Structure 1
Amino acid sequence: MDSATIATMKALMEWEGQRKAPPPGFPKLPDVPAARYTSAEYYALEQEHIFRKTWLFAAHLDEVPEPGSFMRWNNAGDPIIIVHGTDGVVRAFYNTCRHRGAPVVTADKGCARRLVCPYHAWTYKTDGTLVGVPERQDFVDLDMATRGLIPVRCEMFGKLIFVNFDDGATSLRDFLGPIAEEWEEFGFDKLRLAARHSFDLACNWKVAMEANMEVYHVPFIHPETVAPLVDAKRNVNHLYPGGHGRMLAPPPREMQRESVRALENAPNWTAIETVGELGRTHTQSYTIFPNWVSPLSNYFVPPLIFWPTSLTSTRLELITMAPDWGDGEAPDLWTVPDETSPSGRAMARLIQEDTQFGEAIQRSMESRGFRSVPLSYQESRIYWFHQHCDRMIGVDRVPPDLRVEQAIGAEWVSPNDPRVALMEQNAADLAMTG
């Protein structure tokens, strides 16, 4: 990010902190229909048209580190295999044998030069090619060249592996849009996977995710964890094509001494040397449609991934990626040791604060008292997310009583930002009157 852009961002944060109303021209956000969180019909539309047609984070290269490595991945319904081919290419396939439909891979992880179905020993190369069929003479006109494992779109950003079930989808880089360039400073091609843990939540996936898409709640839910480090009043939201978003907020002008001391006593983390000024000194978090939320800093890239497991349940993945920590203990930003847990880990305090009300909110939403959701300007990233959900589904496919209005226009979507012109005009007016 160049110096002029950094200066503009800093000025925008000050402008946001001083405004008395939403920016002139920003649309009044209509209520979000309540049933988007409770309707089985809408949930089915999400599964078919969102999670089957967008790029989804699946794995880190450290999980399939060498040629022949493979892992199972089942977070989006259909069983998938992620395979690091012996030719060095990372691919994804449906974990379904082309003979009788048995899973080709039954172990969660492994390493092999061939993938052998345990049912009848049909054998595949790591590029998916079928190369072995026992008693082949008994199959009439079996064209092995057309019976390889069925591929799933698979592309990488740095060491991150994404999949997409839609063969006609745009490339991963085009999907990320301008965010791909903004992320270059964080060195995704050098980050190691430090921790990956999952926890089940008893609420709709959007209930869980939206708690991480605004800072309106920070003073109330995080008074001792986030609030001392983030000035929510000077937060700037940015909307990107494709339903993505970003928040950028400075630290409070006068940080509490306890918070400063905590930072000074932080572990000896390895820094990402290429991160620029805002990444080093401010809090920023990206929402990548549909289910990724991650703060980024000069020490970590720690995404939270929200996987719907039913209408009223979510699997939350807590991931920490960081530069090489050498012989030290691998950093884990989101979980802490817990001897009472089957996994040996528990959610850290900050995550517990964000998830503590999920089940109660879901129950409350299912009551007759929940009619609709009025969102503020501060919560515009949530409304933008809902707009894109309907666009992915196809607005005409969404029942009228479940739709959100397409209220936020392209003029508010990056690279456009009317706030910059408003801010500059305000400064010019003050200069003239001063």
Structure 2
Amino acid sequence: MSRSLSGERATATVESAHSQVGPPEPIFAARGEARMMDASEVAQLKAMMEWEGRRTAPPEGFPALPDMPAGRYTSAEYYALEVEHVFRKSWLFAGHLDEIPDPGCWMRWHNAGDPIVIVHGMDGVVRAFHNTCRHRGAPVVTEDRGKSSRLMCGYHNWTYKTDGSLVGVPERRDFPADFDLSCRGLLPVRCELFGKVIFVNFDMEAMPLIEWMGPIAREWEEFAFDRIRLAARHSFDLQCNWKVAMEANMEVYHVPFIHPNTVAPLVDSTRNLNTLYPNGHARMLAPPPRQTDREHVRAIDSPPGWQQIDTVGELGRTCTQSYTLFPNWVSPLSNYFVPPLLFWPTSLTTTRLELVTMALDWGDAPAPDLWTVPDASQPNGRQMSPIILEDTQFGEAIQHSMQGSAFRSVPLSYQEARIYSFHQNLDAMIGVDKVPEPLRVAPVIGPDWVWPNDPRRAQMEREPAT
């Protein structure tokens, strides 16, 4: 169904798989009308970053975070719960409209278990289906991408329209006279767009994508999700639990030590401001060190020919503004890029890291790729960039160490609160009663610390600036 939301929720219109009638409506307002933070909002966030740099202890009233159980990274039982309940019930990044640009285009996707096919319908609507023929279970498509006005299973040539309906069964005479094709269509998967970015959800009763995103949808309007193109998409296999890999990108505590020459010169970890959102999402906002007085893109300078996103506001141009979209998306957003890192669990101790760069049209310049560099020795001809290599270099060793008897629990600091909140939301989505008690995290971060609430504001206002 098509939903239009405004104000605090968003001006986006999202197309759902429940009712696929006609082409999708425009998703964002006209160019130049994207909702940016107003001056008072920017000023308050800048003041809070300065306050974070001055504090000498965690904020008043912030809960002491109990140690997290070690088994959350090593337990096969907990991993199975994540796969069944988190990755089957969350909105997941699936791709970009550039990958299926025209009616009839389709692509395979299998990053969360069940194989699915995402189709740009002949009516203009983007849908997703289980890539499973309703006859004998063969895949309907066997290539990664293609284009056709019909989807035909190669096993017995059962044929489906791009809206999933079954329209062709060879030797129809051999089936019963009351064999009803109308109830044998491809099984749908929820599929909705945010701008040109495609998300899927296996839970047909899940809340709409725009509600799942909450206030992030409003904050992301300025980053032109309706205009950005897909510039690069590459995957790499890591030898560690998906949370080990992802959590390296959910705190800046490590930045001075792991990234002394790449990220540290551009991010002041002492003035980092974390914000927790409903549904497990979060944002970090950090200014450059005081000696860095230029506008910057995270860890790189912009080459000639790359287009700036003209609707991005002051914080996106001058700070590192990074978001966690629960469960597995982490991305800095800037006036040049929307470059998500996606962490897909492939086993208890392995992860597929997907590195994506989206940007405005780059014209005749080389396609921008923020996260990888050419490397002829690699199977896909690319290697992870120095920043990603720094973040992933210890993953396998950490996982091996975690499997040992000395790894018993995880104490987290206030600066690592995004990680603790993330784990609280993992348990909430699984269902706390389903999580074995020795593996649970205590839900100590209450709603008073989740947007729009923030006790730090009142504390900051009581303290004189220095």
TM-score (norm 1): 0.97
Residue 149 of structure 1 aligns with which residue?
186
> Shift of residue 327 of structure 1?
1.6
Residue 129 of structure 1 aligns with which residue?
165
Say whether residues 1:42 and 2:106 are aligned partners. Answer: no
Residue 233 of structure 2 aligns with which residue?
196
Corresponding residue SS for 2:352: strand
Residue 394 of structure 2 aligns with which residue?
357
Matches within 5 A, 1:13-162: 13-140=49-176, 141-162=178-199
Say whether residues 1:390 and 2:427 are aligned partners. Answer: yes
Is the 2:305–2:362 contact (alpha carbons within 8 Å) kept by the matching residues of 1?
A: no
Change in Cα spacing, 1:109 to 1:99, as seen in structure 2 (3 Å) is: same
Q: Deviations over 1:302-322 (max 9, x none)?
A: 000000000000000000000
> Shift of residue 263 of structure 1?
5.9
Provide the C-alpha distance between the structure 1 equivalents of 2:301 and 2:337, rounded to a whole number of angstroms: 17
Corresponding residue SS for 1:166: coil
Is the 1:195–1:321 contact (alpha carbons within 8 Å) kept by the matching residues of 2?
A: yes
Moved over 4 A (4+): 262-265
Provide the C-alpha distance between the structure 2 equivalents of 1:230 and 1:27, rounded to a whole number of angstroms: 26
> Shift of residue 268 of structure 1?
3.5
Say whether residues 1:380 and 2:414 are aligned partners. Answer: no
Matches within 5 A, 1:25-424: 25-140=61-176, 141-255=178-292, 266-424=303-461
> Shift of residue 142 of structure 1?
1.1
> Shift of residue 269 of structure 1?
1.8
Is the 2:305–2:365 contact (alpha carbons within 8 Å) kept by the matching residues of 1?
A: no
> Shift of residue 342 of structure 1?
1.2
Q: Deviations over 1:394-433 (max 9, x none)?
A: 0011001000000100000011111111000112xx79xx
Provide the C-alpha distance between the structure 2 equivalents of 1:404 and 1:264, rounded to a whole number of angstroms: 41
Corresponding residue SS for 1:93: strand
1:293 is matched by which residue type in structure 2? V
Instruction: Say what the alpha-carbon RMSD is for the aligned residues.
Output: 1.4
Provide the C-alpha distance between the structure 1 equivalents of 2:165 and 2:397, rounded to a whole number of angstroms: 49
1:219 is matched by which residue type in structure 2? P
Structure 1 gap segments, 5+ residues each: none
Residues matched between the structures, number: 427
> Shift of residue 159 of structure 1?
0.3
Is the 1:286–1:293 contact (alpha carbons within 8 Å) kept by the matching residues of 2?
A: yes
Corresponding residue SS for 2:237: strand
Change in Cα spacing, 1:152 to 1:423, as seen in structure 2 (3 Å) is: same
Is the 1:228–1:256 contact (alpha carbons within 8 Å) kept by the matching residues of 2?
A: no
> Shift of residue 267 of structure 1?
3.9
Is the 2:306–2:365 contact (alpha carbons within 8 Å) kept by the matching residues of 1?
A: no
| Percent of residue pairs bearing the same amino acid type | 72
> Shift of residue 27 of structure 1?
0.2
Residue 9 of structure 2 aligns with which residue?
none
Corresponding residue SS for 1:42: helix
Provide the C-alpha distance between the structure 1 equivalents of 2:293 and 2:278, rounded to a whole number of angstroms: 37
Corresponding residue SS for 2:463: helix
Structure 2 gap segments, 5+ residues each: 1-36
Provide the C-alpha distance between the structure 1 equivalents of 2:304 and 2:259, rounded to a whole number of angstroms: 22
TM-score (norm 2): 0.90
Provide the C-alpha distance between the structure 2 equivalents of 1:197 and 1:164, rounded to a whole number of angstroms: 22
